[in-house]
Amino acid sequence: MQGDENRFKSWMQAREDTPPLGTWIMSASPIIAEAMGYAGYDWILVDMEHSPIDVAQTTAIMQALSGTPSEVVVRVPWNDPVMVKRVMDAGARSIMFPFIQSVEEARAAIAATRYPPQGTRGVAAMHRASRFGTVPDYLNRANDQIAVILQLETPEAVALLPEIAALKGVDAIFIGPGDLSGGMGLLGQIGHEDVQAALKAAAEAARDAGIACGIVGADVTSVRGYMEMGFSYVAIASDLGLLMGAAKTSVREIRGQAAPEVAGGVY
């Protein structure tokens, strides 16, 4: 909740040897989100891009997670300052922006998260982020607790990583392996050696640039591989991916059938 230290931001600055582990919330269910918050994840991302979750549902999910040990990240559906303003007023303070394609888009994303004069975030006197006006000196302190995560999802965007990472106000980069595979002409083939090489190169470029770089994997094997590549924070699958994987596996095992493949992550 706003007013306390943003642990996600601190983790991105520290870049410790053990990457913080997260997962995705896609189900739009506060109950499932709350349960996931007690499962042991360091951070949990509320995904507004690839799910039907709207601002009201995001608020309810953040409320459910506020009593759990997990830190909340919100991925907005697009680099839209109006949407950013609304989710931040609702209490989001670690924001992931999808599909950043240029330095200019990166600057616009950063500006949308900051009150003037550092940015363009609209000012309201009463909202959940300030604990309804009870956080002392909120307007002057809020900028310092915001974490901006910029998602690079194409070869062209990844090539700009050093320039984007150098911008003041960028706390972390996130590589989208699904879209990156598509941009490389290998749609859905995340395990392809060329895609894996590109992911490893991105992690190395981020390390050279001195910025945290994250990724999501569909299963334990892929996530461990990303950790070995040097990604500084990682996520495994999503609530729906984990649910469907366990559900289908149990059905097949009872019926004596081979377990099916289930896509667990959202990119």
Q: Which of these is catalytic: 7, 21, 32, 50?
A: 50
CA distance 173 to 71: 17
Structure tokens at 3: 């007013």
- Whether residue 127 lies in the annotated active site: no
Question: Tokens for 70?
Answer: 């997990």
- Helix (H) or strand (E) segment spanning residue 73: strand 71-75
**How do strand 172-175 and strand 233-238 relate by DSSP bridges?**
unpaired
CB atoms within 10 A of CB 213: 29
CA 222, 106, 60 angle in degrees (round to 5)?
Answer: 65
Q: Determine the straight-line distance between the first and last CA of the chain, rounded to whole angstroms.
A: 26
Give me the active site residues, please.
50
